[in-house]
Amino acid sequence: MPETLSSHRVKTIPDHDLREMMDRPDIDAEVRVDEEALARERTIDRLRLLWEERRFLFRASIYGLALFTLLAFLIPKRYESSAVLMPPDDQSSSGMMLAATLASKVTGSLGGIAGDMLGLKSSGDLFIGILRSRTVQDDLISKFDLRKEYGTNQWDKTRKILTTRTMISEDRKSGIITIAVTDNDPRRAAAIASEYVAELNTVVSQLSTSSAHRERVFLEERLAQVKLDLESAEKDFSQFASKNGAIDIKEQGRAMVESAATLEGQLVAAQSELQGLKQIYSENNVRVRSLRARISELQSQLQQMGGKQEVGADATASDSNDLYPSIRKLPLLGVPYADLYRRTRVQEAVFESLTQEYELAKVAEAKEIPSVRVLDPPDVPEHKSFPPRLVIMILGLIFSFACAVVWVAAKSRWAEISPEAQHKVLAEEVVATFNSHMPWATPNGSRLQAKSHQVWKLIRPKR
């Protein structure tokens, strides 16, 4: 401390002597020192002390500023890239509608408690949970080889570093989600933020376990099986109908009965006409023979329609050339035809119903899966986000000045302590012992100190 400090210092009464004087009842009131005046005097004394040590304070502040400036420029730059996601669509399932009804009936904090107890969280909370999951972090670490970039081979430590460099937040009022990634490389920061969004899309689509998803999967499998059954029933029905000429048994039967009745009526009329002609003409008459040929043709058609087989090759050829089954065969074909027709119609009805349910399930699944919509895609940052060099320099200057002031005050206080004080004597002995073992002290027989003293002599500044 400079000599001017002791020469200009104002002589004041020590605090403990002052308290003893003021506590003594036998001292007259005129002798007591005014506390405000003494406090003012002590303040002025401290300010005078700082003024006398102004050069030391200035040097300490400059050195501290230089040190923190160097530190600010040595800290690696970091760049921040952020992606902003639109609030996801609310789920329209019955559970969410029930939650909305309950929430409207319960006011205040009880509504939030009820929602938490029911486990009904918003899609924003779901997104944030997925983004912070280990699955997403491991994919990012593998794609960008972050273990090498962060200088560690441990997955847990890499995840912690990635977590500290990633900020995921949600605005409770608007529901907008912000993903901010900090990295030493601006391009990698933007790429990691973009990959977060891609991973969120992938995980949401892959891990969808909603009831609509399970229903859609079941209907998809069931629809494929029903489609195979329908194709088999249609094939069997078409083969049976083609083989037996059975297009529509019911309509065919009605049409054949009506045709048979018409032919029967024509046959009766022709036979009556023939009986009348016989009374007038002979058997060789042209009209008689023509009418007999017509009657034979009508009888042949009736027999063919009725299914009566004639003897001979002509009957076989006629039976093989029939396009439609006879009336006698229709009852036999009706049962298998009805079974095959009913089976086909049932499979068609099941297939149509399942197709409608499948389309509805796909729509419901699409509504229940939260959609990830990007409002602001991440871009490559142009300016660093850390470190704030000016702030570090200003804080370093203030910190250095404060430490210098504390040092000056402590040194002054130490000088006022009596040299005979036991704690001061003990402290001086400890400091002397510690100083004697430092590299700048003369070796005292220790090999370690001798070696350190040699190194000190090589690097110490020359005077």
Residue 144: the pLDDT is 92
CA separation for the pair 100, 202 (Å, rounded): 29
**Which region holds residue 108: left if phi is over 0, alpha if psi is between -120 and 50, else beta?**
left
Cα torsion 318, 323, 324, 326 to 10°: value is 0
Residues of the chain with pLDDT under 50: 1-12, 26-28, 30-31, 91-120, 310-321, 463
Question: What's the distance, Cα to Cα, between the start and end of the chain in Å?
Answer: 21
Residue 246: the pLDDT is 61
Residue 162: the pLDDT is 93
Instruction: Name 80's bridge partners.
Output: 182
Residue 321: the pLDDT is 44
Instruction: Name 376's bridge partners.
Output: 84
CA separation for the pair 414, 431 (Å, rounded): 14
Residue 32: the pLDDT is 54
The angle that helices 389-416 and 54-74 make with each other, rounded to 10 degrees, is 150
Residues 67-76: tens digit of each pLDDT: 999 999 999 8
In the structure encoding, which two tokens stand for residue 417, read together? 């302590």
Query: Residue 270 in contact with residue 291, Cβ under 8 Å?
Result: yes
Residue 401: the pLDDT is 93
Note the pTM of the prediction, 2 decimals: 0.51
Tell me the one-letter amino acid at 429: E
Residue with tokens 């040595």: 74
Beta strands at 79-85 and 177-183: parallel, antiparallel or unpaired: antiparallel
Query: Residue 26 in contact with residue 354, Cβ under 8 Å?
Result: no
Residues 112-167: tens digit of each pLDDT: 443 443 444 566 788 888 899 999 999 999 999 999 989 888 999 999 999 999 99
Query: Residue 303 in contact with residue 263, Cβ under 8 Å?
Result: no
**Integer angstrom CA distances of residue 313 from 102, 302, 307, 316:** 88, 19, 16, 5
3-state secondary structure at position 456: helix
Q: How many Cα neighbours within 13 Å face the side chain of 272?
A: 6
| Closest by Cα among 25, 56, 94 to 408 | 56
Residue 68: the pLDDT is 93
Query: Residue 418 in contact with residue 90, Cβ under 8 Å?
Result: no
Residue 122: the pLDDT is 61
